């Protein structure tokens, strides 16, 4: 018998003896169960196995899923993927072989997990999130995680976070709250996608999303009901004007009627809110995604209509005038990416007007350096967090702290290519983000996030706090 085997056996005997003595002191009616539970708590879990595979996301495009095993069980995580990736975000590793999934296979990322990351993490304590994440960062050795792939690293980081929560025997959102130094989890206001456009839908609408926010709800459960009812009223409104074909949906579940202008789309939403009876309780948010239709210094609102190409160009000043007009006519609370991601000057000018929350999505790309510049230049007052732009739970917490220090509103966001993993719901609660956008109140991969928030609210009971009107605080 080796020295290590002798010590392991000796320690196990001591733990059994401690458990028996504890059962005697407790005078428990079921000593076997008591001893079993006592032993389970006494044995510290470590990562024993990591197995990754390729699965398909909500668009039918490959992504990474990981099963991380500890003494407590198996913990699964899968990562989302964006419709397009920017130069400022972490690198998503894809194989590039056009003969396999049109080049979108993630076999290399999966192999990196099964061979490199697994070897580095086996034996580590799952509660030590920062150490696990740093081990992967050190293994990658690139600034944007281009060696192992952010899709590989993030999947393992999320799975480890779930394992850490289980080891501590606390809910995932509570574990995330502990990691971030917060003590009061809060239920965020959901931003439900109701109309899709841009690159997310086949209509002529240039902007990417129109969303509704039930800020007037008293609980998340009520907010979900308000969102669902308004969504279904909107279906009727659209059918009346465009017929059933107008109710086809985009990639994140929003309806995609072939409207001719921003105002026509907003009128449909306004009517649906009115019919639902929630006029004073529901706000509107826009995700313009202006980079998608910026040509030089101008914005082509007909970029999806080749026969009209170049007929409706707007300058940045024209866009500001349009946004001001829309905010006057409609209850718009927030506008995301109103200008091209490199148009810092107009972001700054528009933010200085103070007419709505100005969210930096493509502008910031969840990138710490760009967030620092935006803070210095007052380029926006809202931050869109996309977890796969960052790469690890530890780094996510750091950029969130950066956002909070800037006193920005914060939106935890889904991606175009989603999975049924509900991690971002727990993340939004644990980090007290205040806002979450996870798509329409339909489609399983979107609803899983909203349904998880329902479960969390139920679990918190009287301690549950829904942000509501205090959305930016």
Strand-pairing partners, residue 258, are none
* Helix (H) / strand (E) containing 448: helix 444-460
Token output for 74: 């198996």
Name the packing angle between helices 368-377 and 393-405 (round to 10°): 0
Which whole-number Å values give the CA distances from 211 to 199, 331, 333, in the listed order? 16, 11, 10
Annotated catalytic residues are: 252, 386
335 sits in which H/E element: strand 332-336
- Angstrom distance (rounded) from CA 273 to CA 236: 12
Task: Return the ∠ at Cα 293 (arms to 191 and 291), rounded to 5°.
Answer: 65
- Residue 233: half-sphere exposure toward Cβ, Cα within 13 Å: 18
Task: Specify burial of residue 267 (Cβ count, 10 A radius: 0-12, 13-18, 19+).
Answer: middle
Q: Residue 336 annotated as binding?
A: yes
* Beta pairing class for 283-287 and 332-336: parallel
Coil, helix or strand at residue 281: coil
CB 136 within 8 A of CB 149: no
Distance, CA of 236 to CA of 276 (rounded, Å): 11
Would you give the DSSP letter of residue 28? Answer: -
CA-based radius of gyration for the chain: 24
What are the percentages of helix, strand and coil residues in the chain, rounded to 5?
50, 15, 35
Q: What is the DSSP letter of 182?
A: -
Check whether 95 is labelled as a binding-site residue.
Answer: no
Q: Residue 100 — φ and ψ, nearest 5°?
A: -125, 115
How far is the C-alpha of 453 from the C-alpha of 426, rounded, in Å? 7
Backbone angles phi, psi at 4, to 5 degrees: -65, -40
The binding site consists of 287, 336
Annotated binding site for Mg(2+): 287, 336
């Amino acid at each position: 018998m080796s020295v290590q085997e002798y010590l392991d056996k000796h320690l196990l005997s001591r733990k059994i003896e401690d458990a028996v003595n504890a059962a005697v002191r407790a005078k428990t009616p079921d000593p076997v169960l008591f001893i079993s539970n006592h032993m389970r708590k006494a044995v510290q879990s470590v990562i024993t196995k990591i197995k990754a595979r390729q699965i398909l996301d909500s668009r039918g495009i490959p992504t990474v899923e990981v099963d991380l095993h500890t003494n407590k069980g198996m913990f699964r995580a899968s990562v989302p993927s964006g419709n397009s990736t920017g130069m400022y975000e972490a690198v998503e590793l894809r194989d590039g072989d056009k003969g396999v999934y049109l080049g979108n296979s993630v076999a290399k990322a999966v192999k990196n997990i099964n061979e490199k990351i697994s070897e580095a993490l086996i034996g580590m304590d799952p509660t030590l999130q920062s150490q696990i994440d740093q081990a992967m960062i050190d293994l990658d050795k690139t600034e944007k995680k281009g060696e192992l792939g952010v899709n590989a690293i993030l999947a393992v980081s999320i799975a480890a976070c779930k394992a850490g929560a289980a080891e501590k025997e606390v809910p995932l959102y509570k574990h995330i709250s502990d990691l971030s130094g917060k003590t009061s989890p809060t239920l965020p206001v959901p931003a439900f996608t109701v109309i899709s456009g841009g690159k997310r839908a086949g209509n002529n609408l240039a902007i990417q999303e129109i969303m509704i926010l039930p800020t007037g709800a008293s609980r998340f459960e009520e907010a979900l009901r308000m969102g669902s009812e308004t969504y279904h009223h909107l279906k009727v409104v659209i059918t009346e004007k465009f017929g059933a074909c107008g109710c086809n949906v985009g990639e994140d579940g929003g309806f995609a009627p072939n409207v001719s202008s921003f105002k026509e789309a907003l009128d449909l939403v306004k009517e649906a809110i009115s019919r639902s009876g929630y006029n004073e309780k529901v706000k509107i948010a826009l995700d313009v995604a202006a980079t998608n239709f910026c040509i030089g210094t101008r914005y082509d609102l007909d970029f999806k209509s080749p026969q009209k190409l170049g007929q409706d160009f707007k300058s940045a000043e024209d866009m500001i005038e349009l946004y001001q007009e829309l905010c006057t006519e409609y209850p718009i609370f927030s506008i995301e990416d109103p200008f091209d991601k490199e148009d810092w000057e107009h972001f700054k000018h528009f933010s200085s007007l103070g007419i709505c929350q100005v969210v930096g999505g493509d502008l910031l790309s969840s990138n710490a350096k760009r967030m620092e510049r935006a803070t210095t230049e007052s380029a926006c007052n809202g931050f869109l967090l996309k977890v796969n732009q960052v790469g690890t739970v530890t780094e996510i917490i750091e950029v969130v702290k950066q956002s909070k220090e800037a006193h920005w509103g914060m939106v935890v966001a889904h991606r175009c290519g989603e999975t049924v993993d509900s991690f971002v719901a727990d993340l939004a609660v644990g980090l007290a983000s205040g806002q979450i956008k996870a798509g329409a109140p339909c489609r399983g991969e979107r609803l899983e996030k909203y349904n998880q928030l329902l479960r969390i609210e139920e679990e918190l009971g009287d301690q549950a706090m829904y942000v509501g009107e205090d959305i930016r605080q």
